[in-house]
Structure 1
Amino acid sequence: MTDGRAAEHGDERPGRKPVHNGVTADLPRFAIRIVAAIALFGLAWLLWRLHDVLLLLFAAVLIAVILHAAAGAIRRFLPIPEGAALALAGILILAFASFSAAIFGREVSRQLSSLGDILPGALEALRDWIGADRAQALQDQLMPSGTTLAGWAEQVFAISTGVLSALVLAIVGGVYLAANPDLYRRGALRLLPRGARPAVRDFFDHTGIAMKRWLFARLSAMLVIGVITYAGLTVIGVPSALALGLIAGILEFVPFAGPILAAVPALLLALTVGHSTFFLTAGLYLGIQQIEGNLLTPLFLKQAVDLPPAVTLFTLFIFGAMFGVVGVLLAGPLTVVAYIAVRSLWMERALEEDVTYAAEED
């Protein structure tokens, strides 16, 4: 009798759902989860398809960080508004670039042109020194099958042109971002749920400080490496020392891979002078690497972001495999952002660990 009444009235005792409505009640939740999963998958696919645009946006953010860091340095000495400091920072950077181009531009252009003329002869000298079979094996390893030296050079030129075009767009975008960064920051935070905004806001703050310190440290290292390379190659007697020093300074921005790539043209040119010059040049670049790894990195970069060397090395390969040449060029700052994200959003917020940031210790 009791079971019949329960069946008749649907058993509506508190804490127990009607049996005939159980599946129907769970359908909306299940459908919402399916739709959310599809939306997340679609968003991930869209972001992957637009990764070139996102990398360009990240480069624009780097330009904005540089402008703000320069403006902050100016405001320490001149009591002027932030907008005026940004404008003055941009003018000073352009003036410095123009002044450098006026003094060194013609000589660098001449040496770069000379570098292009000498390299084929340097390759022939390398072939004669190590043997035609070994040289061909080395060429097969460095170049895909069927690729000629001229074709490889054309590919390098095309990549360089694309990078320069992206750099121009990044500079323009960086100027816009630097003009009103709070507008874009607030807009990005409003896209997030209210509960997630404080954590992401703290992540933005920590990342901004770390990126300013990291960029200053990296630019300082680039300057030191470029000057040391130029002076050393000049003493040794390697042709186009100024151009090679400029290449070494620029490629210092790319961790690990940059210094190795910078040594290749210098070693080839040194080989045209003589074997002793080749070995002296190899010793010079090896010594510069030791100075960079044991002196400059602990002195500059450790104060900005205490990144383990293994993390930097593996992220270089990861970003290079994912995004190609642009990923390699931006591997350093991308690693800084990822490292701060792990410490700020995961360790500090999710795990509730006590986290210290090297850029904020002083």
Structure 2
Amino acid sequence: MTDAPATPHVEERGPTEMRDPLIREELKRASVWIGLALAVVGIAFLAQPLLLIIGGFVFASMLDGGTRLLGRVLPIPRGWRLLIVALAFVAFLVGTVMLTGSQMAAQAETFRTVMTQQLDRALAWVGSFGIVPADIEVTQIIQQLMGSLGRLTYAVTSVLGAITSFVMIVVIGLFIAAEPRLYERGAAWMLPIRMRDPFYRTSERMGRTLRHLMAGRLVGMAVEGVGTWILLWIGGVPMAALLGLLTGILAFLPNIGAIISGVLIVMVGFSAGWETGIWAIAVYAIVQIVDGYLIVPYVARKTVDLAPALVLGAQLLFGALFGILGLALADPIVALVKAALQQKSIEESGQAAGIAEP
């Protein structure tokens, strides 16, 4: 008796078989999640250089805006106009340091002493209600805060770190402003061809938004800084020039900057007497009303109307995560994200209209 022919054994694909559609699909999903996790870790470790690059784009938008504005009255090649704007920026920095450097240095020491005394008085008053220890001093609080600051915040807020960061932002901004189309085409080259036209339109909208936002911010800084200085000087408030400079710089930070500058102005004003303190409060109110009811609405009409709560929330989040540099760049980042989302909505609406027309 002969054996029956054996039935051919059909081999099934194993878990390592990459041709299996199920395995390929699961591998794609796992790759997406792994890539997302690596991106989050990379952003956490590369936060400072990424923020410096974003700061370079912000500074480049300022230079580009000045170059375009100069082109309306001076019809010369773009390179020469950019050189004039860059030299004007350098001359402003050098002139400010030379004209006010010694005066600011002397006032800065007096300012530190006055603020320490005023804060000690405020803490003593709060301590009388049992809210904080009665013997606590400002120096102790500063030491605790500095000890609790993270590595990134300490690197950025230190003097050397701040100077290095500023120089890097300026250098990156100069390179981008010199040849913006080169970097735009380089970024578009990494995208599929079908996505390049929408990318160019989105890039143009984001650039226009950032230029207008920074132009309005510079106007606001100038108005607040100069106005505060003149009004405080008229009222006899000590260190008017230093307070005006600090107010102008802090005006770059909407919401939070106004609060900080207001506290500084009022505390220095009351250090010279009640009448001077009341004048300082009036000056702060006048400057903020002009900025809030004239400059900010005009900027909002020209750019994106950002809700104050949204900006403040972004500042708190970016400040907690990335330190003072994140706090300074929170507003431009939110404006850029909103501009990109608005352009994406326009693109999708256009595509839907094109499909519905036939």
Question: TM-score w.r.t. structure 1 length?
Answer: 0.81
In 1, Cα distance between equivalents of 2:183 and 2:24: 36
In 1, Cα distance between equivalents of 2:69 and 2:265: 36
Worse-matched range after superposition: 179-188 or 41-50: 41-50
In 1, Cα distance between equivalents of 2:85 and 2:61: 12
Specify the alignment match of 2:117 in structure 1.
121
C-alpha deviation, 1:201, in angstroms? 1.8
Structure 1 residues 287-336: Cα deviation after superposition (integer angstroms, max 9, x where no partner): 32222222221133432322233332322223223323211111121111
Specify the alignment match of 1:137 in structure 2.
132
Specify the alignment match of 1:41 in structure 2.
37
Specify the alignment match of 1:339 in structure 2.
338
Specify the alignment match of 1:251 in structure 2.
250
Q: How many equivalent pairs are there?
A: 336
In 2, Cα distance between equivalents of 1:202 and 1:139: 60
Contact kept in structure 1, 2:127 and 2:134, CA below 8 Å: no
Contact kept in structure 2, 1:127 and 1:135, CA below 8 Å: no
Contact kept in structure 2, 1:244 and 1:266, CA below 8 Å: yes
Specify the alignment match of 2:68 in structure 1.
72
In 2, Cα distance between equivalents of 1:211 and 1:89: 17
Contact kept in structure 2, 1:126 and 1:268, CA below 8 Å: no
1:91 to 84, 87, 109: 87
Residue 100 (structure 2) pairs with residue 104 (structure 1): yes
Q: Secondary structure at the match of 1:91?
A: helix
Specify the alignment match of 2:185 in structure 1.
186
Residue 50 (structure 2) pairs with residue 54 (structure 1): yes
Q: Secondary structure at the match of 1:330?
A: helix
Worse-matched range after superposition: 118-127 or 220-229: 118-127
Superposition CA RMSD, Å: 3.4
Contact kept in structure 2, 1:221 and 1:300, CA below 8 Å: no
Mark the CA change 1:101 to 1:86 in structure 2 (over 3 Å): closer, same or farther: same
Within a 5 Å distance, the mapping from 1:1-362 to structure 2 comes to: 24-126=20-122, 130=125, 132-134=127-129, 137=132, 147-149=140-142, 159-161=157-159, 162-345=161-344, 347-350=345-348, 352=350
C-alpha deviation, 1:44, in angstroms? 3.4
In 2, Cα distance between equivalents of 1:123 and 1:323: 27
Specify the alignment match of 1:3 in structure 2.
none
Specify the alignment match of 1:4 in structure 2.
none
Q: Given residue 292 of structure 2, which amino acid in structure 1 is its aligned partner?
A: G
In 2, Cα distance between equivalents of 1:163 and 1:99: 20
Contact kept in structure 2, 1:163 and 1:326, CA below 8 Å: no
Q: Secondary structure at the match of 2:62?
A: helix
Q: Secondary structure at the match of 1:77?
A: coil
Q: Percent identity?
A: 26
Contact kept in structure 1, 2:256 and 2:312, CA below 8 Å: no
Mark the CA change 1:176 to 1:100 in structure 2 (over 3 Å): closer, same or farther: same
Specify the alignment match of 2:355 in structure 1.
none
Structure 1: gaps (5+ residues)? 1-7, 9-17, 355-362
Structure 1 residues 8-31: Cα deviation after superposition (integer angstroms, max 9, x where no partner): 9xxxxxxxxx99789934333332
